[in-house]
């Protein structure tokens, strides 16, 4: 068994070396595991792998720990960890490019907001971030040197198989509330940060009718004039359907009306190309994603928490939800972890059952 494992790990490291060299020659992402550093890895395994790679720990030393791995299931998990470590150890050896290596290790994060507090007295809640807290979060991004990208720029990188900049973050807002214009836009303008707002096209200038619980129920939505001003200021306008339904539960024809119709509505009203989409309630399946692609969008965001590796599908982009009750320390921890510290809920549909 040891000889077989040695051969397996040796093959994995050789494959990593070849992948790194191939990328160094062509600057195009090879197929396979390259470009999927975080995919299918628990946070603890990622931290351990980064530490071991930083310390250049040899595979022979880690193999000595194998006998104490425990049960068969644990042993299988340990061998999987060893194989992936061997592969990425090879990538680092073959790549010979520190900047590209750091980009591969840490993909971009897409932050997901909803509403910003309209007054100082409006309490923080899951979907309403007080303005002062939002200001502190943007100041943290600036102080920590994050590169804040426009969503379409990130999608362009992923579609063309290019590595996004190091420490990249994208800022997004779901639904299109008026307070995004009144309170988020001035803060973002101060820091020179771009953002994307996903708009429910049938609710422009009215009030939110889909949430069943406060504080979002009946909340004022941005007007056409406000959205136009945001677009002129550099905001990207994306679509969030016409009426904010759970798409996966609808017939194909109604899905197309909601997906394609929202894009047509926004392009007609704002006179701008609409190329990004966000699934209401985070609810989608493979058929819904295909319909979004066929409608002419370039990419779409769900509500699944996590890092976007270079090979993440552009119509299943992950986001880290920022809640109004998150402290600045909690916000910083989410940026470091790449997902919310709280345990993930079973599905995207359940994550946003009220928004």
254 and 272 inside one domain: yes
Residues 133, 125, 305, 342, CA torsion sign: positive
Q: In which residue are the tokens 């976007």 written?
A: 308
Q: How many CA atoms within 13 Å lie on the side-chain side of 193?
A: 27
Distance CA 236, CA 228 (A): 10
For the cut 70, the answer to whether the pLDDT of residue 345 exceeds it is no
What are 174's two structure tokens?
Answer: 């779901």
Strands (E), the chain: 109-113, 115-116, 128-129, 147-149, 168-175, 196-199, 236-239, 276-278, 299-301, 320-321
209 and 319 inside one domain: yes
Mean per-residue pLDDT for 298-303?
Answer: 96
For the cut 60, the answer to whether the pLDDT of residue 72 exceeds it is no
Q: In which residue are the tokens 């050896």 written?
A: 93
pLDDT one-digit tens code per residue, 169-208 = 999 999 999 999 999 999 999 999 999 999 999 999 999 9
Note down the domain range covering 31: 2-104
Domain end, chosen from 81, 104, 127, is at 104
Domain end, chosen from 74, 104, 134, is at 104
233 and 85 inside one domain: no
269-300 burial: b if 16+ Cβ within 10 Å, else e: ebeeebbbbbbbbbbbeeebbebbbebebbbb
pTM of the model: 0.91
Q: In which residue are the tokens 């990622």 written?
A: 46
pLDDT, position 74: 80
Distance CA 339, CA 318 (A): 9
226 and 207 inside one domain: yes
141 and 13 inside one domain: no
For the cut 60, the answer to whether the pLDDT of residue 165 exceeds it is yes
146 and 280 inside one domain: yes
Q: What confidence category does residue 344 fall into, taking pLDDT thresholds of 50, 70 and 90?
A: very low
3-state helix, strand, coil in the chain (%, to 5): 50, 10, 40
Cis omega (within 30 of 0) for bond into 215: yes
pLDDT one-digit tens code per residue, 4-62 = 767 889 999 999 999 999 998 888 888 788 989 998 788 888 999 999 999 999 998 88
Please give the torsion angle defined by the CA atoms of residues 208, 112, 149 and 88, in that order, rounded to the nearest 10 degrees: -150
Q: What's the chain's length in residues?
A: 355
pLDDT one-digit tens code per residue, 269-292 = 999 999 999 999 999 999 999 999
Domain end, chosen from 72, 104, 136, is at 104
Three-state DSSP class for 116? strand
Mean per-residue pLDDT for 147-164?
Answer: 94
User: What average pLDDT does the structure give for the chain?
Assistant: 91
In percent, the amount of the chain with pLDDT more than 90 equals 75
Say if strands 320-321 and 109-113 run parallel, antiparallel, or are unpaired: parallel
> 299: domain CATH number?
3.20.20.370
Number of independent structural domains in the chain: 2
Residues with Cβ within 8 Å of 280's Cβ and at least 6 positions away in sequence, in order, are: 200, 210, 240, 241, 244, 245, 246, 247, 352
155 and 249 inside one domain: yes
What are 323's two structure tokens?
Answer: 């809640």
CA-based angle 105:75:86, to the nearest 5?
Answer: 35
The least confident of 102-106, 195-199, 246-250, 278-282 is 102-106
Q: How many CA atoms within 13 Å lie on the side-chain side of 283?
A: 18
């Amino acid at each position: 068994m040891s000889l077989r494992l040695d051969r397996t790990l040796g093959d994995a490291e050789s494959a990593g070396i070849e992948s790194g060299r191939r990328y160094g020659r062509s600057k195009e992402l090879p197929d396979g595991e390259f470009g999927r550093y975080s995919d299918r890895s628990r946070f603890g395994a990622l931290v351990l792998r980064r530490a071991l790679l930083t310390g250049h720990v040899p595979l022979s030393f880690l193999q000595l720990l194998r006998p104490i791995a425990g049960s068969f299931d644990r042993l299988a998990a340990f061998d999987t960890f060893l194989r992936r470590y061997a592969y990425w150890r090879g990538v680092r050896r073959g790549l010979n490019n520190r900047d590209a290596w750091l980009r591969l290790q840490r993909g971009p994060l897409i932050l997901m907001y909803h509403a910003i507090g309209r007054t100082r007295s409006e309490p923080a809640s899951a979907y309403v971030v007080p303005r002062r807290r939002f200001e502190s979060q943007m100041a943290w991004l600036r102080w920590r040197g994050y590169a804040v990208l426009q969503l379409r720029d990130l999608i362009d990188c992923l579609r063309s198989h290019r590595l996004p900049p190091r420490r990249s973050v994208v800022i997004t807002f779901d639904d299109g509330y008026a307070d995004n214009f009144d309170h988020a836009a001035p803060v973002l303008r101060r820091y020179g940060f771009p953002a994307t707002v996903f708009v429910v096209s049938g609710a422009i200038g009215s009030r939110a009718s889909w949430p069943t619980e406060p504080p979002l129920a009946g909340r004022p939505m941005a007007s056409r004039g406000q959205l136009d001003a945001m677009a002129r200021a550099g905001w990207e306008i994306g679509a969030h359907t016409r009426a904010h339904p759970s798409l996966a539960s609808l017939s194909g024809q109604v899905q197309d009306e909601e997906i394609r119709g929202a894009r047509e509505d926004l392009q007609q009203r704002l006179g701008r190309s609409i190329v990004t989409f966000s699934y209401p309630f985070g609810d989608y399946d493979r058929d819904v994603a295909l319909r979004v692609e066929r409608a002419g969008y370039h990419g779409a965001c769900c509500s699944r928490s996590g890092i976007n590796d270079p090979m993440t599908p552009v119509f299943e982009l992950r986001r880290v939800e920022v809640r109004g009750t998150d402290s600045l320390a909690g916000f910083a921890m989410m940026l470091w972890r790449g997902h919310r510290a709280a345990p993930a809920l079973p599905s995207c549909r359940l994550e946003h059952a009220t928004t």
